[in-house]
Amino acid sequence: MDDFISRQAAIGTLDDEITITGKSNAYVVKDYVQRVKRKLENLPSAEPERKKGEWVKTESMQYFRKHYPTYTCSICGFRKGGKWNYCPNCGARMTDETD
């Protein structure tokens, strides 16, 4: 699985590296760091893949003689008594609800 990091934080770390190096190798290091920074700036942006699921109405729970619908996450099977925008168990984003 990929690690998602901040492009600006990575470039800032490289800027810190330039100031840390001694004067004897400063030109070589500065040139190398500038080339690495250009490569980082030109990398495509990565978007983390997020699961999408649906709340599926399964059965009713009874509390104090009233029936409440129960919904199941179509991704992980987590059951709960209401619908939310995200599954609290697997983190999937819920799209169309099916009844």
Domain layout of the chain by residue ranges = 7-42, 52-94
pLDDT tens per residue, range 56-69: 888 776 666 777 78
Element (H, E) at 27: helix 26-42
49-65: b or e for each residue (b if 16 or more CB lie within 10 Å)? eeeebbbeeeeeeeeee
pTM of the model: 0.45
Q: What is the pLDDT along the chain (99 residues), one digit of tens a residue?
A: 467 778 888 877 776 666 555 566 667 777 887 888 888 888 877 766 778 899 888 877 666 677 778 888 999 988 887 788 888 888 888 876 544
Spatial separation of the C-alpha atoms in residues 16 and 21, rounded to whole Å = 9
